[in-house]
Chain A
Amino acid sequence: MTKEEKYTLAKWAMNHALENGAQQASVSISNSQSSSVEVREEKIDKLEQAIQRSLYIRLFVDGKYSAHSTSRLKEQELVRFINEAIEGTKFLSEDEFRTLPAPELYYKGGGKNLESLDENFALVDPKEKIDLAFKAEKEILGTDERLISVSCSYYDGLNERVMVTSNGFEGHSANSHYGLHTSVSVKGGDARPESSWGESSIKYDKLKKDGTGTTALKKAIEKIGAEKIESGTMPMLVENRVVGRLLGPVMEAINGSSIQQKNSFLVAKLDEKVASNQLTVTDDPFIVGGRGSRLFDGEGLATKKRSIFDKGVLKCYYIDTYYGKKLEMEPNGGSTTNLVFEPGNKDLDGLVASIQKGIFVTGFNGGNCNGSTGDFSYGIEGFLIENGKLVKPVAEMNITGNMMKLMANIGELGSDIKTDSSVRTPSILFNDVDFSGL
């Protein structure tokens, strides 16, 4: 579908809703395409291709609200779809807080090019994509007798979306991604440790096209012999790649819905010190080539740069139009864009060197966090650090504690910011973490 076709259909659907009982409406139409190839044992194991389209409509009917999506985009079927949706909505309870955003908060165009799209998406030779996966496999096939299994994937995708609302918003966005990913299993005693490594990019030219195989193999071999050690309270260094998973509950806790529903350990903590001085985080939607960059959010609100933590002080909740009204707060966009952590001075080696005895966590295994209290417990794997050196792999252990205390115990942030993710974090050192093992 072209952009114009999407706009035409979206406006038709919106007008149909407005003419048939809705007082306000917003419609998005998305289309996407993706392909992937996975190779094993020098053969293509899986080849997948997909083309997808969908319509998403939000309806405001007599003070009541509902939202609906469908992959059936023929006008004739949409007529019934929208009519049924409007009729159904009338049976719900009224919700005075449900409205479209105030028009003055909408993105009105003129933003800079965030380089989220590879204009040459359609031009990459399919054969070259398959070859990339084969090359990744070749990097390591036959290089180590402990190797049991190698799977290498190439994948790419293109997403395009237009959105219109009945109080004046029109916007479109498009983004692309490319990636290479290698998973490796090796034999080590009874266990078959696995590891993987991926590279990804927005533009094909920028994709790092080698190294996933060798890196994945190296990481799998490092895990051979992993075992739990004595339980104890120790410093924990968390690798930049997995910090996002550990701190996910913190971002959940400052979401408007969690705050308003009291499902947050950060209720009524705005402008209070909730973390160590070391923690400064900004939400920056305007990074050129940033993975989370965008000019407007899911409601059409213009994005802006937001300070989230400033030297440990909580500066911002994520507020959309609905929870803004419920909480009597100004909406600022309900979701994260790029989370930019202010880096420290030491690189990863420097951080490891600073630890007498502790654990370098490189992966999590299950676990969860209680949203209202911040109590958490996660399975971990990684390496024991002794006298500033990685000594041996560890696994089958847990960390347990409370998010408030964990944030207060941030000792130091590294300088190794990860930039190929919307969570732009360095490795982080936390003090006094409870590990369970033997």
Chain B
Amino acid sequence: MKVDRRNFIKTSGMFAAGSVVLPPFMQSCQNVQISADVKSYLDHFEVSTEMLQKVIAAAMSKGGDYADLYFEHKTTNSLGLEDGKVNRAYSNIDFGVGIRVLKGDQTGFAYSENVVMNDMLNAAKMAANIANSKAEFKQGDLSEKIPQDYYKISQKWEDVSVKDKVPFVQKINDKIFSLDEKVIKVNAGMSDETSYVMFYNSEGRLTYDYRPMISFYAVCIMQDGEQIENAYAARSVRKGFEWLTEELVDELAGEAIDKTNLLFKAGKPKAGEMPVVLGAGGSGILLHEAIGHTFEADFNRKGTSIFSDKLNKKVAEPFINIIDDGTLPNDRGAINIDDEGNDVQKTYLVKDGMLNSYIHDRISAQHYGVEPTGNGRRESFRHMPLPRMRSTYMENGPHTTEEIFAAVDYGVYVDNFSNGEVKIGAGDFTFFVKSGYIIENGKLTTPIKDINIVGNGPQALADISMAANDYKNDNGTWTCGKDGQSVPVTLGLPTVLVKKMTVGGTNA
């Protein structure tokens, strides 16, 4: 369906009832052991450089300016626990090639689930139709590009048996039950993902990426009298089996328990505008929604973003630096190459309070005459790349958390979120607060829960009046949605004060 125009973010792993959660059950479906060189990727996808060039030639046959091939083989394995037992597993194998042809800003796209010559040529011819002239095409000279390595791991998920993963899911259940007598149910699960990507384009660039990912979550459901509450803890990183430890299990279990307990005492704040203090870490959702999406250059190229005419203008206080970064080691949002074969950067979106750069894919970079920022990303080979975020965060500011709290008479402190959304043109964004506190005279008082906060992007950015020196990255299971495509991201923030936003609450 082409109707989903919502731009949003959410954390997954709460109640993934049956559909999402998946086991390393499946290894790669070919027997080739893959190593970090182009030759082994070509072998993995059972293609030769001559075949790639023929497919590109077909893609360019109607006069396209540029074409690329994105090969992907992704295996996902998930385990789920319910009612005390690891009693379900899901796995998925996805394999194919996406073929894209560009003519100016225009895109033709098709994919094939088979990488045999005929099927690839047919898809190439479909994508070629975006252009409609006859033109001579000269292949670019083949150049192999060795990618960066931002996610070094020691034990690949493909080599880990189900048998070795099950105990961790079981332990988190047992740990949570052992910590509090109010626990009535636990839902827990783990999902690992291994993705092999190979990229070739009409300029001759041939590159590849190996992308591991692991997500681990637990939902804790507690009952106290009539009241039932639940909360969850989750982590997601590009790491191998070595990442799973007893300490991690204990940390997640403790966090799930603490978050759930807090909810029993929580209420609602007054409805209306007030100062909002965002705690370090997951509060980076503010950046993702308030400015991240609206900085995506496809919206700005089309003039539909509220930031369309703000490049190189002051958008925030001078101590504010906001970054979108694809290079954080083992981060869920890191990528060694973007999905258009480009190198990945640490990109300053806001530098010293000025709008420094949009978030670019190839089309928008060309449109604006700048270098690609390495933000061209796609959900899979079935999708065309779009400008997308990676890890979006703010650097430390000049204030202390004490100074920030002291500046608030009545407001809210929030540090635990589930999802957010933004209207690109109006700039109105929201994020949903799972829990936080009311601030009265600089002190945290009553806990609060389940409220939405709404603000306007440019206004909220300008209203960040203080930022502390305690920046934290949040490695939760953040998934960003745009045009019906989901990609993994992360976010981060030091503690900041936003002078005012509209907080959901009661009018009593």
A70 within 8 A of B: yes
Contact, CB under 8 Å: A48 / B423: no
Question: Measured between C-beta atoms, what is the minimum distance from A380 to chain B in Å?
Answer: 9
Nearest B residue to A438 by beta-carbon distance? B273
Contact, CB under 8 Å: A366 / B421: yes
Contact status of A377 and B452, CB under 8 A, knowing A44-B106, A47-B129, A437-B502: yes
Contact, CB under 8 Å: B504 / A66: no
Residue numbers in A under 8 Å from B503 (CB-CB): 398, 436
Q: How many A residues, CB 8 Å from partner?
A: 96
Contact, CB under 8 Å: A381 / B428: yes
Contact, CB under 8 Å: A92 / B166: yes
Residue numbers in B under 8 Å from A366 (CB-CB): 8, 289, 419-422, 429-432, 452, 454
B200 within 8 A of A: no
**In A114-152, which residues have CB < 8 Å from any B CB?**
148-149, 151
Question: Measured between C-beta atoms, what is the minimum distance from A321 to chain B in Å?
Answer: 12
Contact, CB under 8 Å: A92 / B162: yes
Binds A, one of B223-231, B233-241, B251-259: B223-231
CA distance A181 to B452 in the complex (A): 29
Contact, CB under 8 Å: A262 / B223: yes
Binds A, one of B300-308, B337-345, B402-410: B300-308
1/0 contact string of B479-504 vs chain A (CB within 8 Å): 00000000000000000000000111
Contact, CB under 8 Å: B91 / A68: yes
Residue numbers in A under 8 Å from B504 (CB-CB): 367, 377-378, 398-400, 436
Contact, CB under 8 Å: A72 / B162: no
Nearest A residue to B126 by beta-carbon distance? A49
A424 within 8 A of B: no
Question: Measured between C-beta atoms, what is the minimum distance from A51 to chain B in Å?
Answer: 8
CA distance A376 to B452 in the complex (A): 8
A167 within 8 A of B: no
CA distance A65 to B419 in the complex (A): 31
Contact, CB under 8 Å: B26 / A46: no
CA distance A70 to B112 in the complex (A): 14
Contact, CB under 8 Å: B25 / A66: yes
A19 within 8 A of B: no
**Which of B3, B17, B450, B454 lies at the interface centre, i.e. has the most chain A CB atoms within 10 A of its CB?**
B454
Residue numbers in B under 8 Å from A372 (CB-CB): 221, 228-230
Contact, CB under 8 Å: B268 / A368: no
Contact, CB under 8 Å: A194 / B130: no
Question: Measured between C-beta atoms, what is the minimum distance from B88 to chain A in Å?
Answer: 6
B92 within 8 A of A: yes
B373 within 8 A of A: no
Contact, CB under 8 Å: B17 / A397: no
Question: Measured between C-beta atoms, what is the minimum distance from B151 to chain A in Å?
Answer: 25
- Checking B96, B106, B161, B304 against A148 with a beta-carbon cut-off of 8 angstroms, the contacting residue is B304
B90 within 8 A of A: yes
1/0 contact string of B371-415 vs chain A (CB within 8 Å): 000000000001010000000000000000000000000000000
Residue numbers in A under 8 Å from B502 (CB-CB): 228, 396-398, 436-438
Residue numbers in B under 8 Å from A381 (CB-CB): 423, 426, 428
Contact, CB under 8 Å: A365 / B430: yes
A276 within 8 A of B: no
Question: Measured between C-beta atoms, what is the minimum distance from B4 to chain A in Å?
Answer: 10
A183 within 8 A of B: yes
B506 within 8 A of A: yes
Residue numbers in A under 8 Å from B185 (CB-CB): 261-263
Contact, CB under 8 Å: A191 / B426: yes
Contact, CB under 8 Å: B92 / A231: no
Contact, CB under 8 Å: B418 / A368: yes
Contact, CB under 8 Å: B26 / A77: no
Question: Measured between C-beta atoms, what is the minimum distance from B169 to chain A in Å?
Answer: 10
CA distance A366 to B162 in the complex (A): 37
CA distance A375 to B108 in the complex (A): 45
Contact, CB under 8 Å: A46 / B91: no
A155 within 8 A of B: yes
Contact, CB under 8 Å: A400 / B308: no
Question: Measured between C-beta atoms, what is the minimum distance from B452 to chain A in Å?
Answer: 4
Residue numbers in A under 8 Å from B27 (CB-CB): 84
- Checking B2, B452, B456 against A179 with a beta-carbon cut-off of 8 angstroms, the contacting residue is B2
B212 within 8 A of A: no
Chain B interface secondary structure, helix, strand, loop or mixed?
Answer: strand
Residue numbers in B under 8 Å from A436 (CB-CB): 271-272, 454, 502-505, 507
- Checking A67, A179, A377 against B1 with a beta-carbon cut-off of 8 angstroms, the contacting residue is A179
Question: Measured between C-beta atoms, what is the minimum distance from A84 to chain B in Å?
Answer: 6
CA distance A400 to B268 in the complex (A): 9
Contact, CB under 8 Å: B18 / A257: yes
CA distance A398 to B451 in the complex (A): 9
B449 within 8 A of A: yes
Residue numbers in A under 8 Å from B455 (CB-CB): 396
Contact, CB under 8 Å: A400 / B505: yes
Contact status of A397 and B454, CB under 8 A, knowing A91-B162, A365-B430: yes
B471 within 8 A of A: no
Residue numbers in A under 8 Å from B456 (CB-CB): 396
Contact, CB under 8 Å: B87 / A368: no
A344 within 8 A of B: no
- Checking B82, B163, B229, B454 against A373 with a beta-carbon cut-off of 8 angstroms, the contacting residue is B229
Question: Measured between C-beta atoms, what is the minimum distance from B114 to chain A in Å?
Answer: 9
B23 within 8 A of A: yes
Residue numbers in A under 8 Å from B8 (CB-CB): 366
Nearest B residue to A70 by beta-carbon distance? B93
B265 within 8 A of A: no
B109 within 8 A of A: yes
Question: Measured between C-beta atoms, what is the minimum distance from B219 to chain A in Å?
Answer: 8
B37 within 8 A of A: no
A185 within 8 A of B: yes
Residue numbers in B under 8 Å from A271 (CB-CB): none
Contact, CB under 8 Å: B302 / A71: no
Residue numbers in B under 8 Å from A69 (CB-CB): 91-93
B113 within 8 A of A: yes
Residue numbers in A under 8 Å from B82 (CB-CB): 261
Nearest A residue to B132 by beta-carbon distance? A44
Residue numbers in A under 8 Å from B303 (CB-CB): 148-149, 185, 192
Contact, CB under 8 Å: B426 / A193: yes
Residue numbers in A under 8 Å from B112 (CB-CB): 51
CA distance A153 to B5 in the complex (A): 12
B174 within 8 A of A: no
**In B450-477, which residues have CB < 8 Å from any A CB?**
450-456, 458
Contact, CB under 8 Å: A65 / B88: yes
Contact, CB under 8 Å: A88 / B425: no
A306 within 8 A of B: no
Contact, CB under 8 Å: A84 / B25: yes
Contact, CB under 8 Å: B426 / A192: yes
CA distance A395 to B428 in the complex (A): 8
Nearest B residue to A156 by beta-carbon distance? B2
CA distance A68 to B27 in the complex (A): 13
Contact, CB under 8 Å: B162 / A88: yes
**In A169-183, which residues have CB < 8 Å from any B CB?**
177, 179, 181, 183
Question: Measured between C-beta atoms, what is the minimum distance from B343 to chain A in Å?
Answer: 26
A190 within 8 A of B: yes
**In B83-114, which residues have CB < 8 Å from any A CB?**
83, 85-96, 105-113
Contact status of A71 and B506, CB under 8 A, knowing A49-B126, A372-B221: no
**In A77-128, which residues have CB < 8 Å from any B CB?**
77, 80-81, 84-85, 87-89, 91-95, 98
A-B contacts, 14 of them at CB < 8 A, read A45-B107, A66-B25, A88-B25, A88-B89, A92-B162, A181-B2, A181-B3, A185-B304, A192-B425, A262-B185, A368-B419, A370-B449, A373-B229, A438-B273
A: which residues have CB within 8 A of B?
A: 36, 38, 40, 43-53, 64-72, 77, 80-81, 84-85, 87-89, 91-95, 98, 148-149, 151, 153, 155, 157, 177, 179, 181, 183, 185, 190-194, 196, 198, 200, 223, 226, 228, 231-233, 255, 257-258, 261-263, 267, 326, 365-373, 375-379, 381, 395-400, 434-438
- The 5 tightest CB contacts between A and B, nearest first, are A366-B430, A366-B421, A88-B25, A436-B271, A93-B85
Q: With A379-B428, A397-B454 given, can you name 9 additional A-B contacts, CB distance below 8 Å?
A: A65-B88, A66-B91, A72-B113, A84-B26, A91-B162, A98-B87, A370-B450, A396-B456, A436-B504
